């Protein structure tokens, strides 16, 4: 259960990071509301996951999922350039997250 909550919280981290980039300094209402809601839910989920997982592992997995999804979405949507090296490095982050799960 803790791992599922942690993965969902990592996905929500990507949501709030992407929404933050679209708030234009918190001047746009919809992205700002999405940012605040996703941030609160992501942090709450991380806190729940840390009840049953080591803090270092939980935080590393949370950040890894959020960073990989945020960068992947930015490349997919055309906001960032796509290259084989970037994809390879993002897969490395995902591999490290999987490794942390397998060694837990």
Helices 55-76 and 2-22, packing angle to 10 deg = 40
pLDDT below 70 — which residues of the chain? none
DSSP state of 53: S
pLDDT, residue 103, reads 87
pLDDT, residue 33, reads 98
* 8 Å CB contact between 32 and 23: yes
pLDDT, residue 100, reads 87
Neighbours of 46 (CB within 10 A): 23
Six token digits for residue 104: 């837990």
pLDDT, residue 81, reads 96
* 8 Å CB contact between 9 and 42: yes
């Amino acid at each position: 259960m803790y791992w599922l909550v942690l993965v969902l919280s990592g996905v929500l981290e990507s949501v709030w990071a992407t929404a933050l980039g679209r708030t234009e300094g918190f001047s746009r209402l919809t992205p700002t509301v999405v940012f605040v809601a996703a941030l609160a839910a992501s942090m709450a989920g991380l806190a729940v996951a840390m009840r049953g997982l080591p803090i270092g592992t939980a935080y590393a997995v949370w950040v890894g999922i959020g960073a990989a999804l945020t960068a992947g979405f930015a490349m997919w949507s055309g906001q960032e350039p796509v290259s084989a090296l970037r994809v390879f490095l993002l897969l490395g982050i995902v591999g490290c997250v999987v490794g942390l799960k397998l060694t837990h």
